[in-house]
Structure 1
Amino acid sequence: MSQLLTNYHDQLENAKMPVGKKKVLQTALTLFANNGFHATTTAKIAKQAGVSEGTIYKYFKSKNDLLTSLLQPILLEIKDNFFSRLDSTANLKELIHFMVTDRIAFINVNFDFIRLLMQEFLTNQPAGKYYEKFFNGNTGVLPRVQQLQKQYPEINQSLTTVQIIRSIVAPVMAYILQINLFHVPSDSNDVALIEQQILNNLTKI
């Protein structure tokens, strides 16, 4: 079980909610992660959770509604935990080093579950609405990146927020996919090269 999945199971265990709802969420989370959303029926969730299908529909309008109820807090946790640790960096180079090493480690540990989240966002329209909360709002990814651009004047101020995100995310994700999907051997210098590439992309005039 991934670190992310384990942490979220722990959160659900301590959450204040009806026992039946908690069992449904915990079971659905495991089954969605292990078997995929489409391969997991509400009947299978109910059987493994030890509840009736009626209990599922008591708390959730549909399987899609159950999925979105799981995705929203997970995405917000991913975002908030990550950005809360950026304040300790002293300069842009250190910031980039933290971003790259932290996200590579996080995605490697949670790769199967992260892949599930991305698949469901792309294929399930109801889940897609949570992109809005993830990216926008006072604590969304976009305004937080804008704050970083102001905090580090070395960043090319003509870059848009989306361009900054793309400059950081693209090299990291390419490396992650190379390792986890295509099983291309990594080199000891790869991470340092990625960090330098991002630094060049952000500071180039």
Structure 2
Amino acid sequence: MTQVLANYEEQLANAKMPAGKKKVLTTALKLFANNGFHATTTAKIAKQAGVSEGTIYKYFSSKDDLLAKLLQPILIEIKNNFFSNLDYKTDLPSLISFIVTDRIHFIEVNFDFIRLIFQEILTGQLTDKSYQDFFSGHDGVLVKLQKLQATFPEINPKLTPPQLARIFIGPILTYVLQNKLLGLPVNDDDLDIIQKQILANLTLKY
């Protein structure tokens, strides 16, 4: 059970909504995570939730709509967890080391959901507002990176928030995709190389 999944299941348990809708969401969440989106039919969701397929379509226009409704709050969970527990009192290299090692583990553990999110963005199932809030909302990723930039003067002040996001997310995500999706070999020193790349790009003067 992943951290994101556990947190979201708790939210669903406490949410005020019709019992049938809650059963559909909870069941679909587990089936999508364990079996994948395409291998999960609405008939399978209905059977395991103990409801009719008509109940699913009462609350969701399609299976894609059901997935989108699930992923929007999961985006918030991923954003909050990914950038939580950062100790800004430490030095920049140590902070980068923590982000790389701890957050790569976070992405790997929650990879099924993150892959689903990318699929839905690419197919247009997630609304622009969903991922714009994730990046540009009042507590979004770009705001958190600006805070990081303000805390450490050695970070090049000319770097924009989107550039900071690419510097951090690019090598981390590439490493995980290489390992989890493509099955390509990774080396023992890869994480150390990633940390040095991020530090060099953050502090590069141009």
TM-score scaled to structure 2, two decimals?
0.87
The equivalent residue for 2:75 is 75
Structure 1 CA distance for aligned equivalents of residues 135 and 84 of structure 2? 16
The code of the aligned residue for 2:9 comes to H
Q: Which runs of 5+ in 1 are unaligned?
A: none
The equivalent residue for 2:157 is 157
1:51 is paired with a residue whose SS is coil
2:37 is paired with a residue whose SS is coil
The code of the aligned residue for 1:196 comes to K
The code of the aligned residue for 2:17 comes to M
In percent, how many aligned pairs have the same letter?
Answer: 62
Structure 1 CA distance for aligned equivalents of residues 20 and 148 of structure 2? 43
The equivalent residue for 2:64 is 64
The ranges of structure 1 where at least 4 consecutive aligned residues each deviate by more than 6 angstroms after the TM superposition are: none
The code of the aligned residue for 1:151 comes to T
Q: For each residue in 1:48-93, what CA deviation from the matched residue of structure 2 results, as whole angstroms up to 9, or x when unmatched?
A: 2111123223333333332222111111011112323124552211
Check conservation: 2:88, 2:151, Cα contact below 8 A: no
Check conservation: 2:4, 2:110, Cα contact below 8 A: yes
Check conservation: 2:72, 2:126, Cα contact below 8 A: no
Q: Return the offset for 1:2.
A: 4.2
Check conservation: 1:122, 1:128, Cα contact below 8 A: no
Structure 1 CA distance for aligned equivalents of residues 5 and 53 of structure 2? 23
Structure 2 CA distance for aligned equivalents of residues 189 and 42 of structure 1? 44
Structure 2 CA distance for aligned equivalents of residues 97 and 127 of structure 1? 33
Structure 1 CA distance for aligned equivalents of residues 74 and 96 of structure 2? 24
1:185 is paired with a residue whose SS is coil
Structure 2 CA distance for aligned equivalents of residues 163 and 9 of structure 1? 34
Q: Which runs of 5+ in 2 are unaligned?
A: none
The 5-angstrom pairing of residues 11-160 of structure 1 reads 11-160=11-160
Distance 1:161 1:37, change over 3 A: same
Structure 2 CA distance for aligned equivalents of residues 81 and 2 of structure 1? 12
Structure 2 CA distance for aligned equivalents of residues 52 and 7 of structure 1? 27
Q: Return the offset for 1:187.
A: 2.8
> Is residue 2:202 matched to residue 1:202?
yes
The code of the aligned residue for 2:67 comes to L
1:84 is paired with a residue whose SS is coil
Q: Return the offset for 1:131.
A: 0.8
The code of the aligned residue for 1:183 comes to G
The equivalent residue for 1:4 is 4
Structure 1 CA distance for aligned equivalents of residues 141 and 135 of structure 2? 5
The equivalent residue for 1:167 is 167
Deviates more, 1:9-18 or 1:68-77: 9-18
Structure 2 CA distance for aligned equivalents of residues 125 and 112 of structure 1? 17
Structure 1 CA distance for aligned equivalents of residues 72 and 87 of structure 2? 24
Q: Return the offset for 1:186.
A: 3.0
> How large is the Cα RMSD of the aligned pairs?
2.2
> Is residue 2:184 matched to residue 1:184?
yes
